[in-house]
Structure 1
Amino acid sequence: MLNKVSGIERYLNDSIGEPVGILRVGASTTIGNYLLPLLVGAFDRRFPRAKALLNVGNTKQIEIAVEEGECDLGLIEGPSHLSTLRVEPWRDDELVVVVGREHPLAAPRSASAADLEQVDWIMREKGSGTREVFEDAMAAAGITCKIAMVLGHTEAIKKAVEAGLGVGCLSRMAVQREVENGWLVEVATPLKLRRSLFIVTRESQYTSKLMSAYLSLLEKEKEQSGAGRP
């Protein structure tokens, strides 16, 4: 009932010349923490009578939130698994393997398939798009993954890897600062770790002026990032 009332409000708001109201945006962890905060701020400044509320979770959680109407649109890091959603590619991203400065792989800065089978991995939880892409890449390379620790947040994984507790595989966006400062070391591997980021909405959803304005902002960000390059 609340979703229906919200939909009626959007129809009424569209009679006004500018985007008005609250847009509930869901984003999986990497996107929500490293891409969207600046975009949400830019949206609020450009449209003073509109506001984007950001909800961050893993890919599975965001898909469900969009499907059930808790979010108006979602941005996810892995493939969608719900046929009820409309899925549009947004931009590309790349995962990188990282280790702490004292890890044995830090000096050569590279790892073979055999090396990757021997190390202890620190991973995100099931339902994470990052984990799904990593596991698919390992399986495609015929490598068995030895998971030593599962943590539900990217920042926790970075700290654990930096402390030498294991090896991580995270978005380049998430570890760029740590790699540039030498706190983490990027390791070259034979894994194919490119991935797409997607926009998901409900198939039957009405596209309001508010939604269109936000989608236009996402498209502009994609173009500025280099036609999808991270």
Structure 2
Amino acid sequence: MALSLRQLEIFEKIASTGSVTRAGEELLLTQSAVSMALSQLEQLSSVPLFERVGRRLMLNDAGRMLLKDAREILLAVKQLEQQLQGDSGELVGELLVGGSTTIANYLLPSLLGAFARQYPMTRVQLTVGNTQQVADLLATGQLDIAFVEGPCHNRELVALHWRDDELVVVAGAEHPWAKEKRVTPEQLTTAPWIMREKGSGTREIFEDAMDRAGISYAIALEFGHTEAIKNGVAAGLGVSCLSRIAVDRELEYGRLVEVASPLLLTRSLALLKRRTSHCTTLLEAFLKVSGGQWEA
């Protein structure tokens, strides 16, 4: 029995979802077909590749070793298909794009729409997470490219400047800071901050700015989504520091109020790529629409 690309694709999907059922749903296959492909692959390897923990399948050491090679093979095949298809005239293919939360919610939708209108035979699958999550997915070959708002600490990736951004300190319309519209370091220290979780680019920029200014702070609440933070601030639960692009509408309508502070909150939004990646025809077209550059 020969190894097939379909078996590797099914194996990778089981590994990423932790479930035969979910892998089948995402690949549009029956559970029995997924189970059969996994069984055949384990027969070829002569050892089990997963351990069952409750209802979840977890890779063992043999499975983890195979997963790294399987992802590299699948990525190489996908890039070859895109390159061949791109040479045929009309641009076709699928791109796996990652975006950290603020970028994915407020910048990428319009870019994806523009790209789809210009290249209707293509498909872009967007994965959203915080900066660290998106970078990890890109490094393991589960994404083709990513756009993030925070520093990248993965040495397998290259970060290239994409756009400039600015964070702003915001308070609710009824908050005492809303009248003065300016705060001192002492007020920043005693404020109840509502922020994103650890791993978020916005959170890291805020913490770096506070540390550089020598200002201590306390995180009162952590929310995993910017919309929840904005609603919490508007409701008077605390104050926050968010990207201007994320609060532009709330500032315009007076739901939130921008507060001047001594913090340095400018930042660079970045495009991430793997060091060894090749810029395919499809990627090149997407970068042209998004305004990104493959090389520094």
| TM-score normalised over the length of structure 2 | 0.73
1:72 to 110, 128, 144: 144
Higher alpha-carbon deviation: 34-43 or 78-87: 78-87
Counterpart for residue 135 of structure 1: 207
1:159 to 228, 231, 241: 231
Please give the alpha-carbon distance, in whole angstroms, between the structure 1 residues aligned to 2:93 and 2:122. Answer: 5
* Superposed CA offset, 1:183-226 (max 9, x none): 11110000000000000011111211100001111227x9xxxx
Provide the secondary structure at the position in 1 that maps to 2:141.
coil
Question: Once superposed, what is the RMSD of the aligned Cα atoms?
Answer: 1.3
**Match of 2:203, as an amino acid?**
R
The answer to whether 1:184 aligns with 2:262 is no
**Match of 2:78, as an amino acid?**
S
Counterpart for residue 9 of structure 2: none
* Superposed CA offset, 1:97-126 (max 9, x none): 001111111110110111100110001000
- The structure 1 segments of at least 4 consecutive aligned residues displaced by more than 4 Å after TM superposition are none
- Which consecutive residues of structure 1, in runs of 5 or more, have no partner in the other structure? 223-230
The question of whether the paired residues in 2 share the 8 Å contact of 1:67 and 1:84 is answered with: yes
Q: Aligned-pair distance for 1:8?
A: 2.8
- List aligned pairs for 1:73-222, cutoff 5 A: 73-219=145-291
Please give the alpha-carbon distance, in whole angstroms, between the structure 2 residues aligned to 1:44 and 1:76. Answer: 21
The question of whether the paired residues in 2 share the 8 Å contact of 1:43 and 1:51 is answered with: no
The question of whether the paired residues in 2 share the 8 Å contact of 1:93 and 1:197 is answered with: yes
**Match of 1:171, as an amino acid?**
S
Please give the alpha-carbon distance, in whole angstroms, between the structure 2 residues aligned to 1:73 and 1:133. Answer: 22
* Superposed CA offset, 1:149-187 (max 9, x none): 001000000000000000010000000101111111110
Q: Aligned-pair distance for 1:11?
A: 2.9
Please give the alpha-carbon distance, in whole angstroms, between the structure 2 residues aligned to 1:64 and 1:9. Answer: 24
Please give the alpha-carbon distance, in whole angstroms, between the structure 2 residues aligned to 1:169 and 1:157. Answer: 10
Please give the alpha-carbon distance, in whole angstroms, between the structure 1 residues aligned to 2:139 and 2:198. Answer: 19
Q: Which has the higher relative contact order, 1 or 2, with Cα contacts under 8 A spaced 6 or more apart?
A: 1
Please give the alpha-carbon distance, in whole angstroms, between the structure 1 residues aligned to 2:261 and 2:268. Answer: 19
**Match of 1:70, as an amino acid?**
Q
Which of the pair has more CA radius of gyration? 2
Q: Aligned-pair distance for 1:86?
A: 1.9
Provide the secondary structure at the position in 2 that maps to 1:152.
coil
The answer to whether 1:60 aligns with 2:149 is no
Provide the secondary structure at the position in 2 that maps to 1:69.
coil
The question of whether the paired residues in 1 share the 8 Å contact of 2:83 and 2:281 is answered with: no
Please give the alpha-carbon distance, in whole angstroms, between the structure 2 residues aligned to 1:32 and 1:176. Answer: 16
* Superposed CA offset, 1:126-154 (max 9, x none): 00000000000000000011110001000
Between Structure 1 and Structure 2, which shows a larger proportion of helix residues? 2
- Which consecutive residues of structure 2, in runs of 5 or more, have no partner in the other structure? 1-69
| Identical residues among aligned pairs (%) | 52
Higher alpha-carbon deviation: 1-10 or 108-117: 1-10
The question of whether the paired residues in 1 share the 8 Å contact of 2:164 and 2:268 is answered with: yes
| TM-score normalised over the length of structure 1 | 0.93
Pairs aligned (count): 221
Please give the alpha-carbon distance, in whole angstroms, between the structure 1 residues aligned to 2:218 and 2:143. Answer: 35
Please give the alpha-carbon distance, in whole angstroms, between the structure 2 residues aligned to 1:106 and 1:16. Answer: 59
